[in-house]
């Protein structure tokens, strides 16, 4: 209004100039106000936009941070899974190696045991071969010894038999009449029994029996103490009767008389421990003061035989002991299983 009041007291020309100037200034002021308001509004808008952008950036940053954390967690999880997988692979590889080592150790142990067993078998085989070689050498040596011994003993036995035969021939079949010759024959016979062994002793006994030097009724040679262990006079071998044989006081341990006819034989004072007289005929045989330990009389006919002896663990299985005399006998653990026993006299004096 101040502008318009000044314009009244001025000229027209100047009036329009002043008014125009004031209008321009007013417009400028208004424009400045508008511009200021616009600028303020723009600034406010910019601030709002900036604030919104900051919020958006903040949200984006937060989201990015969250995403980064999620990605990091995923990465860690993936790393753990990967590590776990790698550990599982490593463990599987380790287990495989351990199993392989165990198999290698087992194979090595088995190979070691096989080597030990092979070495043992080789040593055992060497030992067996050495023993076989030694046994073969011993057998050969024994054979050589037996051959050498036979070269000596066979002529010795033959010479003795020839000498006895000559004496029997010169004395008309009997040596009883001449006591000197009888004693000489006994001495030589006892002396020759010592070295010749069971087989040749069997031959000599058969010869003496045939020449009636061991007949019970012919004043037989006294064979007291003669070692006749293991002689084999079984029927399957000698194939001749030897009844009335006198072997009194002889040592007949483990001798065999299986299946022989021993009727009227005289074993008085003999040692028949372990002897086998099974399946024999021992009718009226004499077993007085005989050592009978584990002597076998099974299936033997002992009709009228006499046993004035102690019998220890004798075997009389199925023996016929009809009218047999068992005097001074304790029959210790002797087997009289189902035998034919009638009129059997068993006394303990």
Half-sphere exposure for 199 (CA within 13 Å, toward CB): 5
CA–CA dist 302, 95 (Å, integer): 86
Q: What is the pLDDT of residue 300?
A: 94
Q: How far apart are the first and last CA of the chain?
A: 191
The answer to whether the CB of 339 falls within 8 A of the CB of 320 is yes
Q: Where are the domains of the chain?
A: 2-77, 223-346
Q: How many residues does the chain have?
A: 349
299: CB partners within 8 A, 6+ apart: 278, 279, 317, 318, 319
List residues bridging with 266 in a β-sheet: 246, 286
pLDDT per position as a tens digit, 69-102? 777 777 777 667 777 888 888 888 888 888 888 8
Angle at which helices 179-210 and 12-170 cross, to 10°: 130
- Cα torsion through 209, 211, 215, 218, rounded to 10: -170
Q: What is the pLDDT of residue 183?
A: 82
The pTM assigned to this predicted structure is 0.57
Q: What is the pLDDT of residue 63?
A: 78
CA–CA dist 288, 322 (Å, integer): 17
Q: E strands, 195-242, where?
A: none
Q: What is the CATH number of domain 223-346?
A: 2.160.20.80
User: How many CB atoms lie under 10 A from the CB of residue 241?
Assistant: 14
At 129, list the tokens.
């071969």
At 273, list the tokens.
């421990």
Distances (CA, A) of 333 to 283, 292, 318: 24, 12, 16
Low-confidence ranges of the chain (pLDDT < 70): 1-25, 78-79, 173-177, 327-349
């Amino acid at each position: 209004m101040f502008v318009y009041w000044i314009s009244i007291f001025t000229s027209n020309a100047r009036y329009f100039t002043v008014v125009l100037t004031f209008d321009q200034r007013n417009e400028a002021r208004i424009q400045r106000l508008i511009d200021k308001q616009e600028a303020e509004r723009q600034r406010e808008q910019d601030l709002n936009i900036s604030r919104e952008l900051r919020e958006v950036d903040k949200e984006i940053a937060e989201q990015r941070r969250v995403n980064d954390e999620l990605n990091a967690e995923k990465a860690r999880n993936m790393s753990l899974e990967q590590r776990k997988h790698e550990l599982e692979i490593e463990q599987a590889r380790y287990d495989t190696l351990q199993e392989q080592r165990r198999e290698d150790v087992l194979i090595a142990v088995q190979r070691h045991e096989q080597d030990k067993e092979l070495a043992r078998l080789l040593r055992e085989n060497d030992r067996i071969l050495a023993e076989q070689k030694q046994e073969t050498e011993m057998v050969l040596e024994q054979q050589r010894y037996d051959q050498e011994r036979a070269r000596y003993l066979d002529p010795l036995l033959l010479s003795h038999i020839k000498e006895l035969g000559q004496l029997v021939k010169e004395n008309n079949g009997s040596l009883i009449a001449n006591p000197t010759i009888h004693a000489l024959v006994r001495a030589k016979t006892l002396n020759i029994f010592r070295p010749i062994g069971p087989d040749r002793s069997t031959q000599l006994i058969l010869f003496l029996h045939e020449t009636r030097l061991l007949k019970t009724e012919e004043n037989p040679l006294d064979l007291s103490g003669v070692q006749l262990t293991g002689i084999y006079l079984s029927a399957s071998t000698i194939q001749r009767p030897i009844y009335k044989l006198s072997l009194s006081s002889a040592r007949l341990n483990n001798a065999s008389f299986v299946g022989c006819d021993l009727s009227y034989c005289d074993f008085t004072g003999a040692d028949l421990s372990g002897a086998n007289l099974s399946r024999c005929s021992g009718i009226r045989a004499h077993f007085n003061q005989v050592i009978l330990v584990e002597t076998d009389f099974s299936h033997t006919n002992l009709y009228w035989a006499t046993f004035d002896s102690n019998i220890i663990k004798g075997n009389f299985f199925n023996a016929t002991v009809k009218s047999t005399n068992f005097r001074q006998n304790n029959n210790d653990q002797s087997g009289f299983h189902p035998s034919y026993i009638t009129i059997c006299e068993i006394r303990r004096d």
